[in-house]
Structure 1
C-alpha cells in the first residue's frame, strides 16, 4: 500500500510536465488544390509537399522538405556519390604528389607504355596488310580473277586463308583503335588531375 502515494505523485508529475518540442509545434502545408492545412500528424499525401514547422505562437521554426520522387532520389544519390568520389580523388592527389612534375612524370610513363602498344599494333597491322597483298597475288592466278582462259577455279582453302586474314586484320585494327582511345583518355585524365592539383594547392587552407 505504501506504493500508492508514489504512483500518484508520478502521475501528477507527468501531467504537469511541459510539452516536448514535437508537442508544441504543428505543421503547415498546402495541398495540390492550394488549400492550407495545419496539424500535428499530416496525412500520408502531405509528404508530397514541403511542410513548415510552427511553434505555439505560429512562428516558423523549421522546414520539412517534400518526399523526393524515385527519379529525384536517384539523381540526388548519384550527386552524393559523385561528390564523395571527388573528395576521395582530391585526397589522393594531395597525399600522393608533392609537385606537378610528379604527375607529369607518371603521365609520361603511362603514355609511353601505351605508345609501345600502339606501335606494336601498327606493326602487326602492316604485316597483316602484306599478308593480304600476297594472298591477292595468289588469287590472281585463279578464276574469276585470272584472265588466263584455262585458269583453275579459286581453291576453297585459299578462300579460307583470305577470310581468316581479313578477320585478323579487323581484330588488329580494333586493337589499335582501342589503344589510341586509351591513350587519349589517359592523357585527358592526367591533364585533369594536374589542373585540379594546381587548383587545390593554390588554396593554402586545403592542405
Structure 2
C-alpha cells in the first residue's frame, strides 16, 4: 500500500513538473492482480476496467471493462428477450382492450349474461330430453326386430337380408342418437364455461371485481371475491 501511494505521488509530481495540469492519471489491475498507475493506458490493458484520478489522487471517474464476445451475445439475447416480452405485453393489452369493448358493447349488464347462459343451457337440455325419449323408442324397436328375427330362426325360417339390414339400420340410429346426446352434454359444459368466463371478464372490466381469477362458478350462483 505504501509503494502504491509513492507511485501515485511520483506520477502526480511528474505531471505537475511537466506543467500539464489537465493530464489524466489512470489506475487499473492486470490479470495477475497487480495494481498499475500511469498517465497512459497500454494497448494491452485498454479493455480492462480502470479508474481516472485527479491531480490529488482522488477518483473522479471510472470505465468498466469491455465485455467478452460471450457476454455481448448474452447481453444481446437478454435485450431481445425483454423486447419480445414488452411486445407480447403490449399485444396482450391491446387484445384485452378489444375484448373489453366487445363485452361492454354486447351486454348491458351482468344479469343479461346469466340469463343468456340459462336460456342456452335450457334449450340444450330440452334437446337432450327429446333425444333420450327417441332413444328409448329406438331401443324398443330394435328389441322388437331382434325378437322377430329370433322367432323366425326358431321356427326354421331364414332372416332375409332386407330384415338384417333393417336391424343394422336400427342399431346405427341408436348409435347416432347416443352420440347426439353426448355432443349436447359436452356443449352444455362448453356453454357454461363460455358464459362464466364472459361474466367474470365483464365484472372485471366494469370494475365490479378486482381480478378475473377470483371468479368461481357454483351452479346457478356466481360468487365474486375481491382481492384484498
TM-score, scaled relative to structure 1: 0.56
Which of 119, 129, 135 aligns to 2:139? It is 129
After superposition, where does 1:77-92 map in structure 2 within 5 Å? Answer: 85-92=95-102
Cα shift at 1:138: 0.6
Going from structure 1 to structure 2, the CA distance change for 1:137 and 1:181 (only over 3 Å counts) comes to same
Cα shift at 1:99: 2.1
**Ranges in structure 2 where 5+ consecutive residues have no aligned partner:** 1-65, 210-228
Does residue 179 (structure 1) correspond to residue 184 (structure 2)? The answer is yes
TM-score, scaled relative to structure 2: 0.52
Q: Tell me the alpha carbon deviations over residues 168-195 of structure 1, each in whole angstroms, 9 at most, x when there is no partner.
A: 1111111111111111110121112222
Aligned residue number for residue 65 of structure 1: 80
Going from structure 1 to structure 2, the CA distance change for 1:93 and 1:30 (only over 3 Å counts) comes to farther
Q: Tell me the alpha carbon deviations over residues 126-156 of structure 1, each in whole angstroms, 9 at most, x when there is no partner.
A: 221111011122112133xx3xxx5213222
Q: Number of paired residues?
A: 144
Aligned residue number for residue 51 of structure 1: 76
Residues of 2 paired with 1:137 and 1:115: CA distance?
33
Aligned residue number for residue 97 of structure 1: 107
Which of 148, 172, 175 aligns to 1:170? It is 175
Residues of 1 paired with 2:108 and 2:98: CA distance?
17
Cα shift at 1:84: 5.1
Going from structure 1 to structure 2, the CA distance change for 1:106 and 1:30 (only over 3 Å counts) comes to farther
After superposition, where does 1:1-207 map in structure 2 within 5 Å? Answer: 30-31=68-69, 34=70, 36=71, 49-51=74-76, 64-65=79-80, 85-143=95-153, 146=154, 150-202=155-207
Contact 1:128–1:165, Cα closer than 8 Å, also in 2: yes
Residues of 1 paired with 2:188 and 2:194: CA distance?
10
Cα shift at 1:201: 2.3
